[in-house]
């Protein structure tokens, strides 16, 4: 099954196309810089990669998750203009079949659930998913595939922005791998504090998850800054920058399989 998957985050729109059951190509664009023209061009190029579809179908499904209404409006408009079709929004047009053990499942961002769904689908045992995006989310799924919830912290770039905007003298720094844990000036001290602070938070939270689970889970990292974090983290087992797109593909495939099963005599 070919599929175009789009994850609309707080600051980034991630687009991917799956052909022959594999993620073939991805694009990432800032929500602030995104417009209908750029998204339309990407969708057109993705559709051309898919080629002819089974049974002569003219369309390729466009599965979308979103936590950003403005970005969602741009994507919906672009899909109509480029491919003359509507998007399929998870939670609205097709479900995510995952058990959750939280107070109000509707308040959880679909990106968190999709990354958890994708990670558990591969590992099939307890797993921690650390997403280093605008927010840093660290979530846990137990051995039975139940989403237990997790933690939400400011992401690396958001931390840097906040220090700059809410102090009178601290500069806005670029997030990078620190040269040393010892910051020898204000800029390097901020970089070291944010970077190693995120590493420390990840280690502490995973350790506390492990205490609750009774064993150490596998750890999967995703999101825009995951590769940077992984350079100094020795307990990340898997690095999957576009894990949410994988979750969209798996969720929509399960939905189609269930529909087909219901139609059988």
The predicted-structure confidence for 94-109, as pLDDT tens digits, reads as follows 999 899 999 998 899 9
Model pLDDT, residue 264 = 72
Helix axes 243-263, 110-123, angle to 10 degrees: 80
For the chain, give every residue range classified as CATH 3.30.420.40: 3-89, 99-245
pLDDT tens-digit series, residues 179-189: 999 999 999 99
Q: Which residues contact 235 (CB under 8 A, 6 or more apart)?
A: 203, 206, 219
Q: Is 111 a catalytic residue?
A: yes
Contacts by 117-125, CB closer than 8 A, 24 or more apart: 117/247, 117/250, 117/251, 118/240, 118/243, 118/244, 118/246, 118/247, 118/250, 119/220, 119/238, 119/240, 119/243, 120/145, 121/250, 123/218, 123/220, 125/217, 125/218
C-beta atoms surrounding 224 within 10 Å = 20
> Is residue 34 very low, low, confident or very high in pLDDT (cuts 50, 70, 90)?
confident
Please give the average per-residue pLDDT across 20-38, as a whole number. 91
Q: Do 131 and 201 contact (CB within 8 A), yes or no? A: no
Report whether pLDDT(263) > 90: no
Please give the average per-residue pLDDT across 11-32, as a whole number. 94
Q: Which of 58, 57, 52, 48 is nearest to 17 (CA)?
A: 48
pLDDT tens-digit series, residues 116-138: 999 999 999 999 999 999 999 99
Report whether pLDDT(223) > 80: yes
The radius of gyration of the chain from alpha carbons, rounded to an integer in Å, stands at 20
Task: Spot the catalytic one: 2, 111, 139, 242.
Answer: 111
What one-character-per-residue DSSP string does 16-32 give?
EEEETTEEEEEEEEETT
As a CATH number, domain 99-245 is: 3.30.420.40
Model pLDDT, residue 72 = 96
The third-level CATH classification (topology) of the domain covering 3-89 is: Nucleotidyltransferase; domain 5 (3.30.420)
Model pLDDT, residue 166 = 97
């Amino acid at each position: 099954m070919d599929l175009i998957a789009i994850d609309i985050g707080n600051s980034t729109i991630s687009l991917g196309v799956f052909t022959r059951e594999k993620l073939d190509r991805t694009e990432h664009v800032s929500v602030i810089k995104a417009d209908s023209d750029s998204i339309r061009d990407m969708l057109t190029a993705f559709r051309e990669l898919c080629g002819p579809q089974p049974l002569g179908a003219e369309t390729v499904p466009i599965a979308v998750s979103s936590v950003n209404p403005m970005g969602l409006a741009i994507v919906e408009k672009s899909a109509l203009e480029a491919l003359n079709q509507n998007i399929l929004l998870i939670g609205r047009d097709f479900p995510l079949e995952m058990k959750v053990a939280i107070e109000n499942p509707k308040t959880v961002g679909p990106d968190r659930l999709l990354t958890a769904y994708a990670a558990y689908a591969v590992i099939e045992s307890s797993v921690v998913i650390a997403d280093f995006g605008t927010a840093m989310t660290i979530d846990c799924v137990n051995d039975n595939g139940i989403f237990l919830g997790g933690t939400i912290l400011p992401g690396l770039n958001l931390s840097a922005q906040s220090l700059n905007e809410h102090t009178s003298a601290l500069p806005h720094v670029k997030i990078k791998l620190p040269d040393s844990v010892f910051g020898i000036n204000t800029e390097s001290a901020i970089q070291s504090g944010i970077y190693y602070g995120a590493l420390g938070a990840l280690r502490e939270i995973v350790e506390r998850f492990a205490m609750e689970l009774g064993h150490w889970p596998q750890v999967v990292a995703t999101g825009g800054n995951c590769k940077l974090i992984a350079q100094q983290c020795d307990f990340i087992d898997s690095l999957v920058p576009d894990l949410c797109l994988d979750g969209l593909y798996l969720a929509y495939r399960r939905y189609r399989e269930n529909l087909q099963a219901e139609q059988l005599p």
